[in-house]
C-alpha cells in the first residue's frame, strides 16, 4: 500500500507536472509568466527550507539519539555533493544539446538564456519555421534529446520524494502531511518549465501538439521510479537513509539555485520573485513536521 501511494503521488508530480508544462509550451500563453514566476520562486523558498530544516536535519537528530556515528554530518555533506554534481551534469548535457540548434545567435550572444523564450527555446520557432526542412528536423531531434535528458534528470528528483517519505514511521497516516508530500508539490511546479523546454522544439520540428504534450508527459515518468528507489534505499538501514537524504538534499539545492530561481527571474525580471522566495521559507518552516525516528 505504501508503494502504491508513492506511485500515485509521483505520477501526479512527475507526469502531470511535466505534461502541464508541455501543454503551456504548446499554447505559449506568455501572459501567465508573472504568476508562474512567483509560484516557482515560492516553491524554491519552500524547497530550500525543507532541505535545510528537515532533510539535512533528520540525520543530525538520529546521530544525537545514538542511531548513527558521530561522523554522520560528513557523510551527509559528501552525499549532498554527489547529488548536486549528478543533477548539474544532467543539466549540462541538456543545455549542451539544446544550444546546438541555435544557428541564429551570434558569437557575442550570452551563453546563458537572458529571457524566457530562450530558456524554453520558443524563439527558435519563429527563426526556423520558414527555413529548410533540415532545420525542422534538427529542432525535432533536439526536442527528443532534451526529452531523454530531462527524463534522466527526473530520476534523482523522484529520489528526493522517496527519501523524504522514508523518514516516516507510519507513511499511511502521514501521506499528505509529510515532507515527501511537500516535495512532490514543489517538484511538480518545477516540472512545468521543463515540460515547456521539451514540447516547444518538438512542435517546432513538426510534431503535432497533442502527441508532443503526451511525449513530454512521459518524460516525467522516471520520477516514479526514482521515488520508489529512494524509498526502498531509505528503508534498508539508517546509513542508507542518511545517504538517500544527503543525495536528495544536494539534488534539491541545485534545483533551487540552478533552475527554479533563474527560471523565475527570467520569467519576470523584477524584485518580487526574491520576495516570493523569502515568503516561501518561513511558510514551509512553520508547516514542516517535527523530526521523528525513522522507520528503520
Residues 19-26 have a mean pLDDT of: 83
Distance of alpha carbon 67 from its chain centroid, rounded? 31
Residues 93-112 have a mean pLDDT of: 56
Give this prediction's pTM.
Answer: 0.74
State the pLDDT confidence band at 135, using cuts at 50, 70 and 90.
Answer: low
Position with higher pLDDT, 40 vs 214: 214
| Cα 218 to Cα 216: distance, rounded to the nearest angstrom | 5
- The answer, yes or no, to whether residue 130 has pLDDT greater than 90, is no
Residue whose entry in the numeric block shows the C-alpha cell 523569502: 278
Residues 84-89 have a mean pLDDT of: 90
DSSP state at residue 208: -
| Cα 85 to Cα 79: distance, rounded to the nearest angstrom | 10
Query: Model confidence over 182-198: pLDDT tens digits?
Result: 889 889 888 887 787 77
Sequence-ordered list of residues with C-beta below 8 angstroms from that of 274, at least 6 positions apart, any chain = 41
- The answer, yes or no, to whether residue 223 has pLDDT greater than 90, is yes
Residues 263-285 have a mean pLDDT of: 85
| Cα 75 to Cα 293: distance, rounded to the nearest angstrom | 19
Amino acid at each position: 500500500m505504501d508503494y502504491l501511494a508513492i506511485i500515485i503521488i509521483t505520477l501526479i508530480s512527475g507526469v502531470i507536472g511535466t505534461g502541464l508544462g508541455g501543454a503551456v509550451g504548446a499554447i505559449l500563453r506568455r501572459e501567465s509568466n508573472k504568476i508562474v514566476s512567483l509560484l516557482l520562486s515560492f516553491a524554491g523558498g519552500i524547497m530550500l527550507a525543507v532541505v535545510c530544516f528537515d532533510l539535512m536535519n533528520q540525520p543530525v537528530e538520529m546521530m544525537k539519539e545514538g542511531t548513527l556515528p558521530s561522523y554522520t554530518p560528513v557523510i551527509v555533506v559528501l552525499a549532498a555533493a554527489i547529488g548536486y554534481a549528478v543533477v548539474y551534469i544532467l543539466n549540462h548535457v541538456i543545455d549542451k544539446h539544446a544550444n546546438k540548434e541555435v544557428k541564429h545567435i551570434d558569437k557575442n550572444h550570452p551563453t546563458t538564456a537572458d529571457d524566457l523564450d530562450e530558456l524554453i527555446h520558443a524563439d527558435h520557432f519563429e527563426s526556423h519555421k520558414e527555413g529548410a526542412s533540415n532545420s525542422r528536423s534538427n529542432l525535432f531531434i533536439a526536442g527528443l534529446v532534451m526529452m531523454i535528458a530531462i527524463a534522466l534528470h527526473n530520476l534523482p528528483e523522484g529520489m528526493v520524494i522517496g527519501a523524504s517519505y522514508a523518514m516516516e514511521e507510519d507513511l499511511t497516516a502521514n501521506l499528505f502531511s509529510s515532507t515527501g508530500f511537500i516535495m512532490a508539490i514543489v517538484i511538480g511546479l518545477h516540472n512545468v518549465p521543463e515540460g515547456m523546454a521539451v514540447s516547444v522544439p518538438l512542435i517546432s520540428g513538426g510534431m503535432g501538439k497533442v502527441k508532443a504534450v503526451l511525449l513530454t508527459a512521459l518524460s516525467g515518468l522516471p520520477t516514479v521510479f526514482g521515488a520508489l528507489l529512494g524509498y526502498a534505499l531509505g528503508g534498508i538501514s539508517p546509513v542508507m537513509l542518511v545517504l538517500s537524504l544527503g543525495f536528495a538534499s544536494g539534488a534539491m539545492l541545485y534545483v533551487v539555485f540552478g533552475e527554479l530561481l533563474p527560471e523565475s527571474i527570467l520569467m519576470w525580471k523584477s524584485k518580487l520573485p526574491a520576495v516570493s522566495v523569502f515568503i516561501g521559507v518561513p511558510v514551509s518552516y512553520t508547516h514542516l513536521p517535527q523530526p521523528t525516528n525513522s522507520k528503520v
